[in-house]
Amino acid sequence: MLANKNILLGITGGIAAYKTTFLVRLLIKAGANVKVVLTESASSFVSPLTLATLSKNPVPISFVSTEDNQVDWNNHVELGLWADIMIIAPATANTMSKMASGASDNLLLTVYLSAKCPVYVAPAMDLDMYKHPSTKVSIEKLQSFDNIIIPATSGELASGLHGEGRMAEPEDIVAFIESDLAKNLPLRGKKVLITAGPTYEAIDPVRFIGNHSSGLMGFELAKSAANLGAEVILISGPSKYTVNHNFIDLIKVVSADEMYQEVHKYYKKIDIAICAAAVADYKPKTKATQKIKKKADEFSIELVKNKDILFSLGEQKENQFLVGFALETENEVENATGKLKRKNLDAIVLNSLNDNGAGFGKATNKITFIDTKSQIKTFELKTKAEVALDILNEIIQRLDA
């Protein structure tokens, strides 16, 4: 959700400022680009050097900086416009009062007044200060400016008192922002199931039948769907790829039978299912319990059909929007359309091995999207991340129709 977002963290002078080192680490771990601005008093609670090291960016405190006998100024407008999201944490009673009144007597406040992005405010102060009517007025005024308040929590306070006023924990701040950003996303509230990668069908304990699918397309679909607000269940065969996203539940399998079981475990509660996995059509009829020794000049393996996962989902489809993939080498559109009808799909994504840059093991793909109304849309060669977004946008259009 925060990947590649420019996040500006403003830190004011409260004891909770020590937690911002952890907040910076979490934001960077989530994939964000982070810059930090301190008030003068905040620098007494947390080291600018520590924050600069963690964020890999200079940490300005005042309007003017002097380094190596060179005088320079910190451009508050440039900082404010750089940010996609601004977070003020901790936000003291003093700073919130100034933000509410439009006061701008330090760099952080002028950056706040210059920002055009959503601003999240995480109050932190002692119990009586937090309950004071003037603090409530400041919070209400800030909310009227469309600032978003991350509520303080209850706990032990610096004064030794126990009550409301404690700044939300860094992980809760990140979760709050991700949840808030997701509210207006097109797949918010949708459950999406995606299959990815190959399946390996065991011959013996060390050998298997497989294919060259890397799983990248399925993983990019999962990330894009999650970034659009969906709760994603990603069921992947063996793949070198992994994913770390709060909205993605990664389930790893090996064989087609395992994938079949996992898919059907979740399918009834799914809104959208995208079967991007390259599932083996056949498996050995029997699996040797010991490694098969190299003896004969010729060796035969009897194969039997695997269960057709996509067909079984089409049979059981109720309100799900079901999408399959077709990898073709000839009569591509005709064969893909036949598969769409035969398996009771809502749409199919066609890949042609005749297109350079498309297919297994590539960082790019070239697709044609076909639906039940025979609407056919062909896309140019793109990265698989871009292709994933194209596919999801086509699905969203049809959900809204």
Q: Which helix (H) or strand (E) holds 81?
A: helix 76-82
Phi/psi of residue 242, each to 5°?
Answer: -140, 175
Co-location of 212 and 150 in the same domain: no
Domain that holds residue 131: 6-182
- Assign residue 365 the CATH number of its domain: 3.40.50.10300
How far apart, in whole angstroms, are the C-alpha atoms of residue 247 and residue 226? 6
Q: CA 168, CA 179: separation in Å to the nearest integer?
A: 15
CA distance 221 to 391: 8
What is residue 59's predicted lDDT score, i.e. its pLDDT? Answer: 92
Per-residue pLDDT tens over the stretch 152-183: 998 887 877 788 889 999 999 999 998 898 88
From the number of C-beta atoms within 10 Å of its C-beta (0-12, 13-18, 19+), residue 344 rates as middle
pLDDT of residue 69: 61
Residue 165, pLDDT score: 87
Q: What is the pLDDT of residue 75?
A: 73
Q: What is the pLDDT of residue 70?
A: 63
Query: What whole-number distance in Å separates Cα of residue 42 and Cα of residue 37?
Result: 10
Q: Is residue 366 part of a domain?
A: yes
Q: What residue has token string 């760099």?
A: 107
Q: Residues 266-314: pLDDT tens digits?
A: 999 999 999 999 999 999 999 999 999 988 888 899 999 999 999 999 9
Instruction: Give the DSSP letter of residue 41.
Output: G
Name, of 27-31, 120-124, 363-367, the range with top average pLDDT: 120-124
Cα dist from 338 to 67, 272, 322, 333, 398, whole Å: 69, 21, 15, 8, 20
At 233 the three-state DSSP class reads strand
**Residue 225 in this model has a pLDDT that exceeds 90:** yes
Q: Average model confidence (pLDDT) for the chain?
A: 92
The residue-averaged pLDDT of 328-340 equals: 91
Mean pLDDT of 239-250: 92
Domain termination site, one of 164, 182, 200:
182
Residue type, 342: R
Q: Are 14 and 125 in contact (CB under 8 A)?
A: yes
User: Residues 372-396: pLDDT tens digits?
Assistant: 998 999 999 999 999 999 999 999 9
Predicted local confidence at residue 71, as pLDDT: 53
Same domain for 133 and 246? no
CA contacts within 13 A on the Cβ side of 65: 13
pLDDT of residue 182: 83
Residue at 1 is within a domain:
no
Nearest-angstrom CA–CA distance, 132 and 354: 70
| Domain membership flag for residue 146 | yes
Q: If 0-12 CB within 10 Å is exposed, 13-18 middle and 19+ buried, where does residue 278 land?
A: buried
Final residue of a structural domain among 149, 182, 215? 182
Distance CA 13, CA 113 (A): 19
Answer yes or no: are the C-beta atoms of 380 and 373 closer than 8 Å. Answer: no
Confidence of residue 237 (pLDDT cuts 50, 70, 90): very high
Residues 156 and 195 in one domain: no
pLDDT at residue 400 in the model: 76
pLDDT at 355 over 90: no
Q: Do 94 and 119 fall within a single domain?
A: yes
More confident residue, 108 or 71: 108
- For β-strands 208-209 and 148-149, DSSP reports them as unpaired
Is the predicted pLDDT of residue 74 greater than 70, yes or no?
no
- Shared domain check, 363 and 242: yes
Q: Is the pLDDT of residue 57 over 70?
A: yes
Percent of the chain with pLDDT over 90: 79
Q: Is 377 helix (H, G, I), strand (E, B) or coil?
A: strand
68 and 104 assigned to the same domain:
yes
3-class DSSP state of 86 = strand
Q: Are residues 151 and 201 in the same domain?
A: no
pLDDT the model gives residue 393: 97
**pLDDT (0 to 100) of residue 213:** 92
Same domain for 209 and 173, yes or no, is no
159 in a structural domain: yes
- Does 69 share its domain with 158? yes
Residue 306 has a pLDDT of: 97
Q: Given this model, what pLDDT does residue 149 score?
A: 97
The dihedral sign for the CA sequence 218, 222, 227, 229 = positive
Is 184 a residue whose pLDDT tops 90?
no
Residue 172 in domain: yes
pLDDT at 353: 75
Same domain, 177 and 195: no
Q: Name the band, by pLDDT with cuts 50, 70 and 90, for residue 68.
A: low
Number of domains in the chain: 2
Same domain as 138, residue 207: no
DSSP one-letter string for 130-181: HHSHHHHHHHHHHHHTT-EE---EEEE-TTS-EEEEEPPPHHHHHHHHHHHH
Residue numbers annotated as active site: 211
Question: Rounded to a whole number, what is the largest CA-CA distance in the chain?
Answer: 89
Contacts of 307 (CB under 8 A, 6+ apart): 256, 257, 260
| 362 has a pLDDT exceeding 90 | no
Q: What is the CATH number of the domain that holds 121?
A: 3.40.50.1950
Per-residue pLDDT at 313: 98
In-domain check, residue 318: yes
- What does the pLDDT read at residue 363? 87
Residue 72: per-residue pLDDT: 60
- Identify the CA nearest to 209 among candidates 310, 287, 275, 299: 287
Decide which of 182, 203, 220 is a domain's last residue. Answer: 182
Residue 65 has pLDDT above 70, yes or no: no
Average pLDDT over residues 127-140: 94
- Rounded mean pLDDT, 80-89: 95
**Is residue 120 included in any domain, yes or no?**
yes
**pTM to 2 decimals?**
0.74
**Residue scoring higher pLDDT (168 or 358):** 168
- The verdict on residue 313 lying in a domain is yes
Q: Which of 137, 122, 120, 45 is closest to 91 using CA atoms? A: 122
- In the chain, the amino acid numbered 238 is P
Q: Compute the 3-state secondary structure of the chain and give helix, strand, coil in percent, each to the nearest 5.
A: 35, 25, 40
Are 123 and 258 found together in one domain? no
